[in-house]
Amino acid sequence: MTAATPGFVKLLSITFVLAIAVYMLVPLIVVIASSLSTSQFLVFPPPGFSLRWYTEVFNSDAYLSAGWTSLKLALFTVAASVALGTPAAIALSRFRFPGRSFLSAIFLSPLLLPSLIFAIGLLIVFSRYGDGPSLTGLVIGHTVITLPYVIRTVSANLIDMDPHLDEAARIMGARWWQRYLLVILPQCRTGMAAGAFFAFNISFDDAVIALFMRAPNVETLPMRIYSTLEFSPDPSVAAVSTIMILLTIFMVLLLDRIFGLSKIA
């Protein structure tokens, strides 16, 4: 490959990479370690090993209902962003029309602005034209930030697919719904799945939009973790966080198996 790298540079690189690995992963490891502690304070080293905080979490109505809310929110968000994003991605990558690059910028623009800005905007909308944000409000907010991801993954997926297949179907006299159901949507499958993964992950993990929209009576897991951390952290928060970390690990590995992480990076 490249010309030889000096030996001391190699040694230096290995030390550097190990240091960064510790730095990147230690925050996750200490959360997992704290969740297994016997102490009710978050001290290091943990005095003993116990699973009592997990029992506590699974007996806590507050955590269970927050978990249920987060799950519903993430699933509705996935459905909405895939339903809106897929057709937009098909239009942007399969058709040539005036204003295409402008529209493409419009669709990706939610990624450019700080999400707290439009979360406050949505709070103002829901307070002015309704009785304040609700779960629906949060689904709308999360769909705005996850939509660009779906559009990106589906577009990236369609680039690898043969556009002539659709043309062939058209020439052979397929109706529009036959072309979409039998040719185009199956071609988008991988991109839609990847987009759905990202949308689920972003929605399930988000605290910023949820906190700034301040929907009364709606509390997601990240919101609950945030407010517990602000006031009285104890190892049951660590137990909930560990469950969320394990879910993330599972999703990342699945994503790697199906699409390959290097493609995403």
Partner 1 sequence: MASASRSTNREPAFLLTPGLFFLIIAFFFPTFLLLAQSVLTVGPDAGELTLEHYQKAFADSFYAGVAFRTLRLALLITLICLLIGFPLAIIISRASRIVRSLLILMIVLPLMTSVVIRTFGWLVILGQGGVLSWVLQALGLVDGTVSLMRTEAGIVIAMVQVLLPFMVLTTLGNLNQMSPSLEEAARVMGAGFFRSIWHVTLPMSAPGLASGAVLVFALSISSFITPSLVGGVRLPVIASSIYQQMTGSFDWGFGAALSVLLLGATLVLMVPYLIATGRLGGRS
Looking at beta carbons, which pairs linking 157-160 to residues 24 or more positions away fall under 8 Å?
157/187, 157/188, 157/189, 157/190, 157/191, 157/192, 157/194, 158/89, 158/90, 158/93, 158/94, 158/187, 158/188, 158/191, 159/93
Rounded to the nearest whole angstrom, what is the least distance from the CB of residue 136 to partner 1 in the complex?
A: 11
Residues 52-71 close enough to bind partner 1 by CB under 8 A = none
Interface with partner 1 (CB under 8 A), residue from 120, 169, 174, 185:
120
CB nearer to partner 1: give 15 or 65: 15
Told to check if 95 binds partner 1 by CB under 8 A, we report: yes
By CB under 8 A, the count of residues binding partner 1 is 97
Told to check if 5 binds partner 1 by CB under 8 A, we report: yes
Cβ 60 vs Cβ 236: under 8 Å: yes
Residues 134-153 close enough to bind partner 1 by CB under 8 A = 140-141, 143-144, 147, 151
Q: Which amino acid is at 126?
A: F
Quick one: angle between helices 135-159 and 61-94, nearest 10?
40
CB nearer to partner 1: give 190 or 240: 240
CB atoms within 10 A of CB 228: 17
Rounded to the nearest whole angstrom, what is the least distance from the CB of residue 228 to partner 1 in the complex?
A: 9
Radius of gyration of the chain (CA): 23
CB atoms within 10 A of CB 155: 21
Contact flags string 166-205 toward partner 1, x per CB under 8 A: ----------x------------------------x--xx
Interface with partner 1 (CB under 8 A), residue from 62, 117, 168, 182:
117
Contact flags string 213-252 toward partner 1, x per CB under 8 A: -x-------x--xx--xx--x---xx--x--xx--xx-xx
Rounded to the nearest whole angstrom, what is the least distance from the CB of residue 51 to partner 1 in the complex?
A: 19
CB nearer to partner 1: give 89 or 190: 89
The alpha carbon of residue 86 and the mean position of all alpha carbons in its chain are separated, in whole angstroms, by 17
Rounded to the nearest whole angstrom, what is the least distance from the CB of residue 58 to partner 1 in the complex?
A: 18
Told to check if 159 binds partner 1 by CB under 8 A, we report: no
CB nearer to partner 1: give 21 or 168: 21
Looking at beta carbons, which pairs linking 8-15 to residues 24 or more positions away fall under 8 Å?
none
Q: Which amino acid is at 169?
A: A
- For residues 74-97, one letter each, b for 16 or more C-beta atoms within 10 angstroms of the residue's C-beta and e for the rest, the string is bbbbbebbbebbbebbbebbeeee
Stretch that binds partner 1, among 24-32, 53-61, 156-164, 187-195 (CB under 8 A): 24-32
Q: Three-class SS of residue 200? A: helix
Rounded to the nearest whole angstrom, what is the least distance from the CB of residue 86 to partner 1 in the complex?
A: 9
Contact flags string 75-94 toward partner 1, x per CB under 8 A: --------xxx-xx-xxx-x
